Amino acid sequence: MQSSRYKKEDRAGRSLDIEGVRLVSDLRIMHSKVDELFQVVKNLKRRHHEADIGRYAGHTVLSEDIGHVDEIYLWFVGLKENLLRKSG
């Protein structure tokens, strides 16, 4: 049996091993960062015209950012499709 410092009870009363705790922690960080990015983009859109953003942004960096967001979006779409398939 593992020591209690390596197990933590989840909401359903099941024990989480250290990897489960790390996953939950990583997911919380991800949720926070996704919300932070959403808020930043929302404020940029509200405060500035798209043409100005394009004019002042570093095109190389902006292109890289768009590529990263595309990768994240595709990962989320795949995750969503898998969850929908599993739930029937």
pLDDT digits (tens, 9 = 90+) for 51-78: 999 899 999 999 999 999 999 999 999 9
Query: Is this model's pTM higher than 0.95 or not?
Result: no
| pLDDT score recorded for residue 62 | 94
Q: How far is 10 from 46, CA to CA, in rounded Å? A: 39
Mean pLDDT of 26-42: 98
For the chain, give the mean pLDDT.
Answer: 89
- The reported pLDDT for the residue numbered 14 is 72
pLDDT digit string, tens, across residues 37-51: 999 999 999 999 999
CA dihedral 12, 18, 20, 26 (to 10 degrees): 120
